[in-house]
Chain A
Amino acid sequence: MGPLSESTDTGAEPTALASDTLRESIVDALREAIGDDLLESHLIPNDDLWIRVAVSAWRRTGEALREQGFDYFCFLSAIDWLPSPFGRGEDDPSAEPDEAETESKEMTQGYAGGATRFQMFARVTDLRRHVGVTLKADVDESMVVESWIPVYAGANWHERETHEMFGIGFAGHPDLRNMYLPGDFEGYPMRKDFPLLARMVKPWPGIVDVEPMPVDDDGEEAESS
């Protein structure tokens, strides 16, 4: 093949499906591969797909999906679902806490449910069928998840970052050194209970943006045209 060869794909254009049979078939195929370890799925037709699996099946899920064509690794990270104990940090730290804010301090998980504070989430894509899927798994108290490196080599740095930022361990990862922070740094910055110290010591000047806006005569919030 010469260097000037052109793309060979004749174009499997993404087609709009009425009931999104494509994504439904992905869930079915994965359920066949890992059985009851597929806990829950959330599907927005013709848009996106979320699947939550048991944490014990994390690597098996990756392997199964890779075999089914999802061989493009997009990213891997974690979410801390704890509501931030510091509020949004935009207000004056010396002010009284807003009552409405303290009421909504219950922990809720997002799409595809879950029960734990920390959740793994990762995304893989099938480049032939033009479809991606977001995987989730609840991280139990051991705070250790199987490493994905044998499945997707690119998970290496993503797992290092997740370990550094959330304190989640990865069984089978050869080298969980810090990427960003000094080696002796204490704490996990992306956890919600890790304060953003710059905001703690001084109110942010951007606070002006969230001042109440002027209201119309009928008390409605003003809308921009």
Chain B
Amino acid sequence: MTMLSERQQLSYIASQAADARLNVELETEGMTLNIGPQHPATHGTLRIIARLDGEQVIWAEPSAGYMHRGYEKLTEVRTFPQVTSLINRIDWLGSFANEVPFILAAEKLMEIEAPPRAQHIRTILFELSRIANVGLFLGDLGVQMGAITPVFLAFRDREYVLNLIEGATGGRFHPNFDRIGGLKDDLPQGWIDETRQVMKKLRGFCDEIEDLLFGNEIFQSRTRGIGVIPADVARQYGLSGANLRASGVDWDLRRDQSLPMAWDKVDFKVWTHPDGDSWARCWVRLQEVRESTKIVDQLLDTMPAGPVMAKVPRIIKVPEGEAWVSTENPLGEMGYYVVSKGDLGPFRVKIRSASFNNISITPWVLKGVYVPDIITILASLYFILGDIDR
């Protein structure tokens, strides 16, 4: 309970008091509420089972697994280059970002590094995935609370980003563009200028959303002080990304570890927020989209020339060893623990996805909240179903 703001402390005490009251005073008959698996507020097929006492949640448990595809098992029968087409379906809104840590892990084992231009383009596409992903979150957020307009703006502006990703990679949702040793192709002509234009539009989109949503009184009253997660709890559960930074933990893998990517060549700010409530999580994400557009702009200005592919054997055999690489994906820390036995394919791949940890905190955070807040808290934790179930 150290280093909490007054607001956090008050709401923490309030939730504790609500707990105690539930246990002692109210002896009404409980009720079980099922939300999902098919429910508009669950972003896919997540089912939430909640025990209610009146309007208050006594106990809630998400039931995942409706979309389990067994990627960890499937990687064991694929070759290394084939794995990327699987794993970019984990978080389907930011799919290019899923490919990067796996490729980096394979490159680490092979002791090769992508040429500087490839690293640059990788980082740009990575940040574009983040903008496409989190941009949609910002629009979707409004729908969860009854505001329809933001989602149209989000879909409109995400389209520009998807067009860019399609222009560079050929795929809107599943680029499968990253290769061991570099990238499949160089950028098409005119892409850099177009990207600059889109980044300008995207900054306008952020301002619009901030006006429409974050300045809205209803939005504020639905999110401020709701679903507070203190920093020590967030770390224990392994929360990552904006969820962790919204609890006041200043941790961003783009800045805090060294990877053969271009993040160390640009200036950007890691935003944190001390409150740890739903509002903080949404607000940090909004700032992150803004920072991403700035990162992309800077990278476009400093793009080095040269090849986009290092010299690699045509049949890729990865030497024996183990490697762990994680990156700061749109949803949080996404990492792959790759074990190779010197074969054509991996021996074991452990996929550490951000949403799995982020959503495992829900039984803790939903305890004692009111029914309508379940939706806003889940929305602010932001998960992609494929990222939970893998």
Contact = CB atoms under 8 A, between A and B. Distances in A.
Given A73-B237, A121-B337, A7 B250 contact: yes
Interface stretch (A30-38, A53-61, A148-156): A148-156
A189 interface: yes
A147 interface: no
B54 interface: no
28 contacts: A3-B280, A5-B272, A7-B269, A71-B232, A73-B235, A73-B236, A74-B335, A75-B352, A75-B357, A77-B337, A77-B350, A89-B77, A111-B321, A121-B350, A123-B337, A130-B256, A132-B324, A134-B337, A152-B236, A152-B238, A153-B364, A179-B64, A181-B68, A189-B70, A189-B73, A190-B72, A206-B78, A223-B313
Contacts of A206: 78, 82
A6 B283 contact: no
Interface in B64-86: 64-65, 68, 70, 72-74, 76-79, 81-82
Contacts of A77: 337, 350
Interface in B207-251: 232-233, 235-238, 249-251
Nearest to A136: B322
Contacts of A19: none
B101 to A, nearest CB: 13
A108 B81 CA distance: 24
A50 B231 CA distance: 27
B383 interface: no
Contacts of A219: none
Given A14-B256, A123-B324, 7 more contacts: A9-B250, A14-B257, A74-B335, A77-B337, A90-B79, A210-B79, A225-B311
A222 interface: yes
Contacts of B314: 213, 221-224
A196 B275 CA distance: 47
Give chain A's interface residue range (CB within 8 Å of chain B): 35 or more
A-B complex: 7 closest residue pairs judged by Cβ atoms? A154-B237, A180-B68, A180-B65, A9-B250, A73-B238, A157-B360, A89-B77
Contacts of A130: 256-257
B315 A213 contact: yes
Nearest to B280: A3
A200 to B, nearest CB: 11
A173 interface: no
A115 interface: no
Interface string A88-109: 1110000000000000100010
A136 to B, nearest CB: 10
A73 B78 CA distance: 29
Interface string B276-296: 000110010000000000000
B124 to A, nearest CB: 23
Per DSSP, chain A at the interface is loop
B319 interface: no
A5 B333 CA distance: 24
A14 B273 contact: no
Interface string A62-80: 0000000001111101011
Interface string B303-315: 0000001011111
B258 interface: yes
Contacts of B256: 14, 127, 130
Given A90-B77, A132-B324, A75 B238 contact: yes
Given A72-B238, A180-B65, A196 B313 contact: no
Contacts of B356: 157-158
Contacts of A110: 321-322, 339
Contacts of B360: 154, 156-157
Interface in A20-48: 48
A75 B256 CA distance: 19
B159 interface: no
B43 interface: no
B267 interface: no
Contacts of B269: 6-7
Contacts of B51: none
Interface string A124-161: 00010010101000000000000000001110111000
A50 B339 CA distance: 13
Interface string B7-28: 0000000000000000000000
B96 interface: no
Interface centre among A5, A108, A221 (most CB of B within 10 A): A5
A223 B316 CA distance: 10
